[in-house]
Structures are given as structure tokens and as C-alpha cells.
Amino acid sequence: MRFMHCRWIVLYLVGLTFLFLSAQAHAQKSQVVGWIPVYGVGKSMQALQENPHITKGLTRIGLQFWNPSPDGKSVVLAPVDNSGRRLLPADVKRVIAWAKRHQIQVLLTVYNNSQVLNHWDWPLAQRAFRDHPNEFIASLIVVMNEYGLDGVDLDLEGEGDFEGDRASYAKFVRNLSSALKKQQKLLTIDSFHSPCANAPNMAWWGDWLGYVDAIHSMGYQDLYEGSTASFRPEGKPVCENGAAIFRYSWQLAYGQRLGYRTDQIVMGFPTWLARWGEGGLGTTISAHLQEVENLGAGVALWDLQLSSAEWRNPQTWAQLQRLSSPKSKVK
């Protein structure tokens, strides 16, 4: 009987340990993501190194350093200026080494714009994800591993009506996700901030459920909790029956209805501004960060040059650090 009693105690303790570890495994934290643009590497690194508080609040960095190749079959380092001079691999490695020293995840951001193009080239993106998806995925994986990165961030943008590409984009995302998951790597996507225009947009989010780790809604100064603005795309009916779609809470609720966790929806913030919007808790950086923290969502900073001085002060980054602390419960 004593043996049986001890056995039940052991089983009970094992069960408690399992529940504790499961809770820890499912604890999530809101992401604080920032991008380093290929043309702003020096200024970004200066800003990051000036303020030690930044390394405690920043969870991920997207290196917006890569373009699809002209034939769509691979990725290439992007030009740093309008002369076409490309970023050097040694510069990429220095940024990665700094981030790794500070335990910040680093993503390969591939985008279809550049200092030479000066526009979002959707046909360039199409040649990659639609016409040569297998070759493009293989190249992304090779380059990601070459630099020891933590995953891929897709910033392929199209300004206009590209609903016809939605299915091929979704298939590409599923296949890329499968390849990345085999290596336990991340996949994030940058999205336009309405469900009614451009590509990819919020209406496409449902296609990616279960395949992406986070979605960055790229609204920047358009997004704030006090927004009452509706949106009417040119030549189309008003979006979402005139709803105030640019509120943080509306954006988050849209993602939650589709099945995303709160921490997977990440709101774009403009780091070239110290004030924007109206209403809500106020127009300051601190007010907007508090609104997002109250919701449990994440923050995506464009960009890490942090050109507004307020984005470099310790108080801002103390608030961002609090926002990105692990949560025991996700809404």
C-alpha cells in the first residue's frame, strides 16, 4: 500500500510538472519588430548602439536587404543607392553578429522595391512567387541558412487590384512555410492595412492561418486607436461599410475572428514621427504604445534609423520592453 501511495504521489507531481511546462511553452509575448533598410544600415546601427535600452525591448529585426532577382528564380542583395551599388555581404554579417550578441531574432526581408526602382514592382514579385515559386523558395532557404538567420519576412507589395494573384500567393506562402517549419524557422508577412485594396491585404489573412508566425499591418501613421476614418478605394464602395478600420482594436479583432492569436497581429508604427493621430489616449508615442499594450498586440517599427529623437529615449524603450515581456495568457 505504501508503494502504491508513493506511486500516486510521483504521478501527481509528474502531471503538475507537465502542466507547468505546457503553460510555459504556450506563454506568448508581443513582438517588437524593427526593420533596417538597405539604404540606412549605418544610421540604424548608430541608433541601436547609442541606446542600450533598445536591445532589451527589441525582439526581432527584419533585414530589408534582399530583392527577387529579375528572372524571379532567386534572391539578390539590394542596391544601397540609385547608382545600383549593392550591399556587401560583410556588412550584412556585421549587423547579424550584433543582433545575435543581443539575442534578437533576425529575419531575411525580401522586398520588390529599391533605391533604383523607386516603386513597388509587382511584376517582379509575380515572377518570383507565381512563376518560379520552387526556385524562389529554394533560394530563400539557401540564403537564410548561409547567414544563419531565424526566418523569412515577406515584403512583396503591390499597389492596385491584384486579387487575381491571391490564390498563387497563398500557395506560395503554404509551401514556403512548410520548408521553413522543417528547420523550425519563422515566417512573417507584411500586409496592407485594409481588406479592400492592394496586395497582400487583410482580406488575404485567412489564407495564411496556420502558416505564418506573425502579420505586420503596415498602417504606420494611419493606425491609432482614436481613428474614426473610413476608407473608400478609388472607384469602389466604402470599405467594410464605413467602419473605422484603422483603429488598433479593429485591426486586432479582424485577425482574431480569422483565428489568429493576439500576439500574432503586429501594428505598424512610424519612427519618423513623435506624434500622430487624434483622440484615444493621446497623440504621443507613449499613448499609442499603451493602447497596443492594453490590447496585447505587437509593434512593428519602420524603421530602425529612429529618425525622430523621441524614439531614441530610454522611457520609450522601457515601455516597449514591458510590452514584449512574456504573457502567461493570450486573448
What's the pLDDT tens digit per position in 299-321? 999 999 999 999 999 999 999 99
| Cβ within 8 Å of residue 299, ≥6 positions away | 30, 31, 32, 33, 266, 267, 269, 289, 292, 320, 323
C-alpha cell at 19: 502542466
Q: Which residue has the cell 524562389?
A: 136
Q: What is the CA radius of gyration of the chain?
A: 21
Q: pTM of the entire structure?
A: 0.91
3-state secondary structure (DSSP) of residue 331? coil
For residue range 192-218, what is the model confidence (pLDDT) as tens digits?
Answer: 999 999 999 999 999 999 999 999 999
What's the mean pLDDT in 175-194? 98
What's the mean pLDDT in 239-268? 98
Q: Is the pLDDT of residue 9 over 90?
A: no
Closest by CA position to 280, among listed 309, 301, 249, 257: 249
Say whether the peptide bond before residue 121 is cis (omega within 30 degrees of 0). Answer: no
What's the mean pLDDT in 231-244? 96
C-alpha cell at 181: 517549419
A 10 A CB-CB count for 255 gives 22
Question: d(Cα 305, Cα 81) in Å, to the nearest integer?
Answer: 16
For residue range 32-81, what is the model confidence (pLDDT) as tens digits?
Answer: 999 999 999 999 999 999 988 999 999 999 999 999 999 999 999 999 99
Q: How far are the Cα atoms of 193, 224, 246, 268 from residue 221, in angstroms, in the given order? A: 11, 7, 10, 8
Q: Is the pLDDT of residue 281 over 80?
A: yes
